[in-house]
Amino acid sequence: MRPEELARHIQLNVTAALNEDLGIAPDTSKSSNSKMGPGADLTAQLVPENLITTASIISRQKAYLCGTQWLDYCFQRLDQNCIINWSAKDGDFIKPNQVLCNIRGNARAMLTAERTALNFLQTLSGTTTLVRSYVNAVTGINVKIMDTRKTLPGLRAAQKYAVRIGGGLNQRSGLFDGILIKENHIKAAGGISKVMALAKRIAPSDLPIQIEVETLAQLKEALDANAKLILLDNFSMMNLRRAVSLTGKRAVLESSGNINLDKVCLVAETGVDRISIGSLTKDVLAVDLSMRFE
């Protein structure tokens, strides 16, 4: 994703999240937090309107950092003069009680932005940390750790960014930039050979076409149909090894389905090219971070 595209997603993410916290309807641009009612942070009214203060973001556990640009935009959208100095960057390993950044700006704006900013930083750091654990588990094995479309609604671009920061790779972004033929597509189209022919007919030459198979017999059908990217869904270890042997490098093989940290190395050792894991972006445990005024 190009930097300008990522910047647009960050702006959309942060705007929606702040509006949600401030009770602003999606079809308005009202963003004042200086009076009561929608658009106001009621608790922030307890702080002098023009007070300038400093704060720090502190880590409470070991993790890998991600989401600094989202945090920056949260604070700077509410206070354009806010200054943020980072002592760590996306992808860095962080330790308990480490100061990640210092912030100076309007106290009311900082309090209003705090929870939204931390939500992004904690969630994306959690995604990156989880991905890194899988990547580390297969160190030395020629295999790629991939994400899926099982992302938190509205945060796909953000989480896919976090996957990349953690050392993983992205599958298609959505339904528009790749074809993934699954069981129901195969049934509705009349079989593997028919659906592959249809896919090749409608897809531009540079668009990836992947087909999911559930048995070795289906794998053979896909190979006979000249499939070049095949997803092996819930194959046993024995059948993964058989699939690799049967394929003989004629196609890229991807293993998926109920793969966790305990078995990812075993799956990698079967010789598959890729491993896709939905839990990377679906079952995320937020990293413990906090903001403290100084």
Q: Residues 72, 79, 90, 212: which is the catalytic one?
A: 212
Q: Residues 144, 150, 172, 242: which is the catalytic one?
A: 150
* pLDDT confidence tier of residue 126, bands split at 50, 70 and 90: very high
Average confidence score pLDDT of the chain: 94
Q: Residues 60, 115, 220, 282: which is the catalytic one?
A: 115
Q: Is the per-residue pLDDT at 44 higher than 70?
A: yes
* pLDDT confidence tier of residue 40, bands split at 50, 70 and 90: confident
Average pLDDT, stretch 30-54? 76
pLDDT of residue 33: 47
Q: Residues 144, 149, 172, 182: which is the catalytic one?
A: 182
Helix axes 68-78, 3-22, angle to 10 degrees: 60
Average pLDDT, stretch 25-43? 62
User: Which residues of the chain form beta strands (DSSP E)?
Assistant: 52-59, 63-64, 83-86, 93-94, 99-106, 144-146, 179-181, 209-213, 229-233, 252-256, 274-276, 289-293
* pLDDT confidence tier of residue 168, bands split at 50, 70 and 90: very high
% the chain with pLDDT above 90: 91
| Angle ∠(102,92,63) on CA atoms, nearest 5 | 90
Q: Is the per-residue pLDDT at 5 higher than 70?
A: yes
pLDDT tens-digit map of 170-218: 999 999 999 999 999 999 999 999 999 999 999 998 899 999 999 999 9
| Angle ∠(283,152,27) on CA atoms, nearest 5 | 155
Active site residue 250: no
- Distance CA(68)–CA(293), nearest Å, equals 19
% the chain with pLDDT above 70: 96
pLDDT of residue 29: 52
pLDDT tens-digit map of 260-285: 999 999 999 999 999 999 999 999 99
Structural domains of the chain ordered from first start: 3-136+285-293 (3.90.1170.20), 140-282 (3.20.20.70)
